[in-house]
């Protein structure tokens, strides 16, 4: 099924999920108010080339926006607040399809005060997710704002908070939430195997570089045991 476009609706105070789309292509979910539902605010399963734009998604008991098994989704300009669970979550396991997903983009969303969960969650099954210009805020100091489990995720420096990596010397690879990683991602002007190999080659003085790979948008250097044993030369 394709081309179902729920727009400018008020879908609130229901005993189940607010908006659910399954096995659809080219859907456009836009300008809706989806508040205080007993399930997920917006759930997309096995979607292709879907747009989720300028929706208000607040206070839902299963989380805000969840994608599972969906590719080429554009999630732009949504406002999410006080959802009970993750604000926006991609590649989620445990639904009727597997938790994979590729080439999804989160741009300019504002996610605040999600309860007992990260504001943005990118699951391990996601491939080449882009996060750009999002704001993730929470009043609880012990909550992760951006929980990324995929090495192919591209998190640009204009997200708030900025979780981009800066090499400062030997030691563990970690972000500003002290989470450890065994990879570093570089955005290159020309993403080829040769360029990626040259970029990762800066780390040749270590014994922890175990390989490299490329996605359509980035070069990924892979390290052993979340650790660099020496500084990058130069």
Residue ranges and CATH numbers for the domains of the chain are 1-164 (2.160.20.10), 165-234 (no CATH)
In terms of average pLDDT, the best of 133-137, 141-145, 197-201 is: 133-137
Q: Decide: pTM greater than 0.85.
A: no
Measured CA to CA, the distance from residue 220 to residue 201 in angstroms comes to: 12
Q: What is the per-residue pLDDT across 67-105, written as a single tens digit (0 to 9) for each?
A: 999 999 999 999 999 999 999 999 987 776 777 899 999
Nearest one of 176, 175, 199 to 187, comparing CA atoms: 199
Question: Do 219 and 198 touch, CB atoms closer than 8 A?
Answer: no
The Cβ of residue 7 has, within 10 Å, a number of other Cβ atoms equal to 12
Half-sphere exposure of 62 (CA within 13 A, CB side): 22
Question: Do 70 and 45 touch, CB atoms closer than 8 A?
Answer: yes
Q: Tell me phi and psi for residue 72, to 5 degrees.
A: 55, 45
């Amino acid at each position: 099924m394709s081309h179902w476009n729920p727009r400018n609706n008020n879908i609130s105070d229901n005993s189940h999920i607010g908006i659910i789309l399954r096995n659809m292509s080219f859907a456009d979910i836009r300008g809706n108010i989806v508040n205080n539902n007993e399930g997920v605010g917006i759930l997309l399963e096995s979607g292709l080339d879907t747009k989720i734009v300028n929706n208000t998604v607040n206070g839902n008991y299963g989380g805000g926006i969840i994608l599972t098994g969906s590719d080429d989704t554009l999630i732009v300009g949504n406002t999410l607040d006080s959802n009970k669970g993750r604000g926006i979550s991609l590649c989620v396991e445990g639904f009727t399809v597997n938790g994979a997903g590729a080439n999804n983009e989160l741009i300019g969303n504002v996610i605040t005060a999600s309860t007992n969960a990260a504001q943005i969650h990118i699951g391990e099954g996601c491939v080449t997710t882009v996060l750009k210009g999002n704001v993730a805020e929470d009043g609880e100091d012990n909550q992760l704002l951006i929980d990324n489990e995929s090495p192919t995720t591209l998190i640009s420096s204009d997200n708030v908070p900025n979780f981009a990596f800066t090499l400062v010397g030997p030691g563990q690879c970690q972000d500003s939430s002290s989470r450890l990683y065994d990879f570093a991602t570089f955005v290159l002007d020309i993403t080829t195997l040769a360029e990626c190999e040259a970029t990762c080659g800066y780390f040749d003085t270590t014994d922890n570089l175990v390989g490299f790979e490329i996605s359509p948008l980035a070069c990924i250097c892979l390290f052993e045991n979340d650790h660099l044993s020496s500084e990058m030369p130069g």
